[in-house]
Structure 1
Amino acid sequence: MTSEPVAIITGACSGIGEAFTLYLVGKGWRVAMFDIKPNPDLIKKLGDAVIFHHVDVSEYESQARCFQKTWDKYGRLDLVCTNAGILDQSIPPKPNLKCTDINVKGVYYGTQLAIHFMRKNKVPGGTIVATASAASLYPHRGFPEYSGSKAAVWQFVRASAQILQMVGEAFTISRSIATPLMPAAMAAAAGSGSITLMSTVVNALNRIITDESLSGAALECSIDKVLLTPDPEPLNGETSTRACFVWDPIFHQIHHEPSGLPDAADPVQTKASSTAEKGSGVFAKL
């Protein structure tokens, strides 16, 4: 087992993933670079500090195979950045949902595998970082499927963080960030004053790694600022909150273990509450 911390980064050969890889290697990390397309010059430049695996993140088996190879090589896993993503493709006769497959399934698959291997660490645990987008907060009218897929990433992390206690943070990229994913003409039209600096994104990653209080949080990167995105307030107070309460018997049926959440509804107390206040759905703490 290596003594250096180990990270897996999807979409590691370009854009944000490349920036993350360079930053972590510079800090003494070992990085497993997962990507559909290799970057030979980058891989050669970083040498023994990295390994490259050809991965299609929309395919669970592809990710699982390379997670296992990474574990077999290093014997530990400290950080996973589920970063890979694409924009909508041109409109076909039948909807092409590759954008959703990569942006959503890729994150779900990577998170599931990260949890499995991080629980095998000498000290169980780690950090999972999901790259979202400005479109996860502010709808992008030009790319509706992309907007929906990135919104799904944000909500997935927020819903998972308290349960898993290992899912780290989703952070969103506000306005625009110049990566190979963005056409050159689009980047030029946005203007240099609207382009988020790659160094800002790397600063966000550093905050995520070093500040455990950010678990489940969303960090918005805007030009040179890293902003903590507040959770939306329930518009109708307790009534809105109860719409998404956790009832432990259902949680156990789905996940085969109790939630452990302090505000999960206890079935016995919930029944008593509903007798006294029919239809109120009052929370009963475990």
Structure 2
Amino acid sequence: MIIKIPCKRHVISIFMIIIIIVVLVLSSQITKAYSVENKTPFDNSHFIEVDGISLHYRIDKARTDQSLGKILMVHGMGGSTYCWRENTGPLSENGFTVITVDLPAFGFSDRQPGLDHTAKNRADWLWGLLDYLDSELFNDNTPWILVGHSMGAKPIAEMTFNRNEDVEALVFVAGAVFNSPPNLFGNLIEQTPFNHLFEFAIRNIIHQPFAINRALKSAYGREVSEEELSKYLEPLEIEGTARAWIDLVRSSSDELDNLDQLETNILLIWGADDSWVSVDDARKLDDQLLNSNLEIIADNHHMPMVTASEEVNNLIISFLLDSRN
């Protein structure tokens, strides 16, 4: 008896048909809503265009007579400026001017299709923002302190590779520098009609409340409040977000392999129970860096800047002040 083994092309076709059926069945029970008004999200919100890309950022100015420095805080995957809600106030109260920013495809920044979301491109966009602030608002060319959470670690590392002299220090909070973008479907994600299918699935399944709530529970290590959930869902409802996430998967950068070239002082902050970026990665990163200090916070997961905010704020402030002595 001869057994015919289906070719790879047929297997992929069958698999995609199954996905289509599942998506259609699930979507019949899901309400789609994905447009919001263009508005100023927060009292301290601002917008700037860098290389034709609109960036949303927020400013928390130092609340002391003497400014101790300028901090840029960059969120992780699925995040926004909201992720730093427990940190900007205490840091500004201690003399730091804090800038939080939404990367393109996240928060209230640009959703234009076709962007390459590489860490190098993100670094260029962020330097564009900081250069504008230094020249037009702050009149201050002192180096910046760069803080990146999870996915936000790669861009601030690239910012430092590009302009080390303009960076005073780095802080990685659960920094995802060793991961590479998933390539489960190869070039299919860029081809019609599969790209439309993936966009449909992202919008109607991945970006729905039940999925986001589950992801947040894992990242926070606890149940999230209705307000917290709504703050993550609101940006996902902006038209074009699902399409932008396809570009994100298509163009995200591979793991960083030149970390030993980072010569600046670096603080690593990790949750001991982080299941998203493990403590093993933290120790590996600490071994590869020249001037780093690893702080592991017990009973915390992937969002220690929220769930252990007081400890994280104290660690950052002490690290910055001590590194100047």
Shorter-chain TM-score bucket reads: 0.3 to 0.5
Structure 1 length normalisation: TM-score?
A: 0.41
Structure 2 length normalisation: TM-score?
A: 0.37
**Greater relative contact order (CA < 8 Å, ≥ 6 in sequence):** 2
